[in-house]
Amino acid sequence: MTLVPDNALAEAIKIALSTDHNPKRNFTQSVEMIVTFKGIDMKKGELKLREIVVLPKAPPKEMKVLVVPTLQQMDYARKAEPNVVLSKEELQKLQGQKRAVKKLASQNDWFLIAPESMALAGRILGPALGPRNKFPTPLPNSPDITEYVLRFKRSVAVKTKDQPQVQVFIGVENMSQNDLLENAKAVLNVIEGKVKSATNIDAVYFKTTMGKPAKVRPK
């Protein structure tokens, strides 16, 4: 189902990027898409989203990825140039270092962990990831994980917590509006596939980091 026509999404993106909504700043602002829901009781767990979406148009601002590979995967992991690469032994040494763990949790978006290190990562990183609504993701077992890591450098998490809404990074303000539209559609398609009914989506907003939101309602 397509709840919001492409032209309505495109118009809202255009408005969000306009000077009326988006005064010039001395840094490149992110562009976020916010989807609000209605008729859903979040306390009863009627909607739980924890989806991974690969953005079709890679933003110049890459997601920051932390990787804990196996020994056989180490060289392939480094080839992908993630933000952080830790061996299992280096991860173990973080035990009890709460400040260092919190820093890693706040400075990275994705945590790709070899299955053999998943329990260890849960014990050491979990207490810092949980409050930030982040989560470890298992690496595949194959040695060559280069493309897998690269994919996460352009992936976003679509996740709900307590409020009936999701807020997702879709790019930066100097990307073309068509590229932002393609990324928005990719995220929205995943959300539409998870809600029980088309009527559960209340509205879609686009906004830059410091700008005002531009709203579009489903048809």
4: alpha, beta or left? (left if phi > 0; alpha if psi -120 to 50): beta
* pLDDT of the chain, 219 residues: tens digit per residue: 456 788 999 999 999 999 888 888 889 899 999 999 888 888 777 788 889 999 999 999 899 999 999 999 999 999 999 999 999 999 999 999 999 999 999 999 999 999 999 999 999 999 999 999 899 999 999 999 999 999 999 999 998 888 889 999 999 999 999 999 999 999 999 988 888 777 788 899 999 999 999 998 776
| H or E element at residue 172 | strand 165-172
Q: Look at residue 206 and give its three-state secondary structure.
A: strand
Residue 180 has what pLDDT? 97
Instruction: Given CATH 3.40.50.300, say whether it is the number of domain 6-60+155-216.
Output: no
**CATH code, 65-152:** 3.40.50.790
Check residue 138 and give its pLDDT.
96
In this prediction, residue 2 carries a pLDDT of 58
Alpha helices in 160-208 (DSSP H): 177-192
Domain boundaries, the chain: 6-60+155-216, 65-152
Which pLDDT does position 1 carry in this prediction? Answer: 47
The residue type of 176 is S
